[in-house]
Structure 1
C-alpha cells in the first residue's frame, strides 16, 4: 500500500523541518515548498493527499493559494490544514470561507496537528458498506466518486463540505447537533469550535445558491436537510 503524500508549504525553515521529521516518522511521504507560488505549482503537479498550508507566505499568500487550489478541478478535493501565526477569530473564518478544512494557530504542538492530519485522511478515504449515492430534491451525491451535483450542475465542494452535505442529505428531516456534524465531517478527535461548522454551512449554502433553504437551521440544536414533504 502506497504511503500518503503530504505537501507542507511553510517558509519558516525550523518549523518546516520539524513538520517533515514528525510526518515522516508517522509513515507519510513528505513534500515541501517554501513559498506560495512554488507550493501551488507543486500541489498541481503532484496532487498530494493532503496539504499543510501556512497563511503568511512569500510570493503568493496562503489564502490565495487556497483559493486557487479550490478553483482547480484537479486539486479541489485535496484536504487543506491551514497554519498561521495569527490567532484572531476573523482569520479562522476567512480561512474556512476560502476552503480550508481545518485551521491551526501558531504556536502549536506537533502532536495535535498530526491528529488533525490523520483525521482528515481517514474521513477522505473511508469506504463504509453503506449506500454509495444519494439523490434528494435535485441534489445527487456519489460518495465513492466524490462528486456532488445540484440539478445536474457540479458543486465545487471542499472535502469537508462534501462530507457535511452527505451527512445531512442521507437523513432528511433529522436534526444534527454541531458536535455530530463536526464528528461526521472533520473527525471526533479534531478540536473545533461551534462556529467552525457554522462557517462551513454558510459556505455550503452559498454554493447551493437559490436552493440554500435545503439546509435548515434548527434553533438550539444545529442543522438538518429539509424533507421533501416539509412545508416552509
Structure 2
C-alpha cells in the first residue's frame, strides 16, 4: 500500500516515514504541496497523510483539489493538524478527510489510525458496485445515488453514511461505530456529529426517511420493518 506524507516539519516527517516503513508500507514524503502534486501526476497513492499548515499551499486547499479531481476524489486522506478546535476538525472532515491526528501524537496512535484506514480501504475495494434498498440505488463506481430513479446529490460523508447503512441494513449501529467507520476516529462526547448528518441524510431521502430508525440511547438502523 502506497502512502504519501505531506509535512513541512522535517523531524515529524522522518518519524512518520520510519514508523510507516517499519510496518511494511511504501512511503513517499514531501515538504510542500507543489512537490506532492508533481509526484501525484506520476502515481496516485492509496492514502495521503496531509499537514494543514504548509509553506506554500494550505492543507485544506490540497484536500479540496484532491476531492474535486475525479482521479483522486476517492483517495483516503488523514489530516495532520495542530488545529484542534471542533470547528477546524469538523470542517476538514466534512470536506472529505477520512480521519485526523493531532500534534503531538504517538507513533502507536499514528500506526493505529493508518491501519484503520488501510482496513477500510480494503473493505471498500471488495465491496459491491451496485447497492440497492427500497428504490434507493448506489453506484459505488460512479459514486452516485438515485432515489426512485431520480439522481440526488450527496456530500462525501452523506454518501458514505448511506452506503454503510445499506451494507448493514436491519442491524443496529451505534453512533460510536458510525464515527469510527465513517469518520475514522474516536470522537468522544461529540456524537451529535452523527445526528447532524443523519438529519441531513433524512432530508434528502424525503419520503424514504422513515427507513432510518432511531434506536434510542444507541444509534440508528436502516430497515423497512416496523
TM range (shorter): 0.7 to 0.9
CA RMSD of aligned residues (A): 3.4
Q: Which runs of 5+ in 1 are unaligned?
A: none
1:24 aligned to which of 6, 21, 25: 21
- Kindly indicate whether the alpha-carbon contact (under 8 Å) linking 1:141 and 1:147 is maintained by their aligned counterparts in 2: yes
For residues 155 and 24 of structure 1, what CA distance do their matches in structure 2 show?
39
1:37 positional shift? 3.7
Q: For residue 136 of structure 1, what is the aligned residue in structure 2?
A: 133
Q: Gapped runs of 5+ residues in structure 2? A: none
Q: Say yes or no: does 1:193 pair with 2:151.
A: no
1:165 CA drift (Å): 2.5
Q: Distance in 2 between matches of 1:129 and 1:53?
A: 26
| 1:72-123 deviations in Å (ceiling 9; x for gaps) | 1111111111111122222111111111111111000122111111111111
Aligned counterparts, 1:160-199, within 5 A: 163-172=160-169, 174-185=171-182, 190-193=185-188, 195=190, 198-199=192-193
Whether 1:112 and 2:109 are equivalent positions in the alignment is yes
Q: 1:147 to 1:130 in 2, by over 3 A?
A: closer
> Distance in 2 between the 1:88 and 1:79 partners?
22
Range 62-71 or range 8-17, more displaced: 62-71
Could you give the per-residue CA deviations for residues 147-177 of structure 1, whole angstroms, max 9, x where no partner exists?
A: 442246486764x765533331234454421
Residue pair 1:53, 1:83 contacting (<8 A) in 2 also: yes
TM-score, with structure 1 as normaliser: 0.77
Residue number among 7, 12, 18 corresponding to 1:10 in the alignment: 7
**What SS class does the counterpart of residue 4 from structure 2 fall into?**
strand
Residue 125 of structure 1 pairs with residue 119 of structure 2 = no
Deviation, 1:136, is 1.6
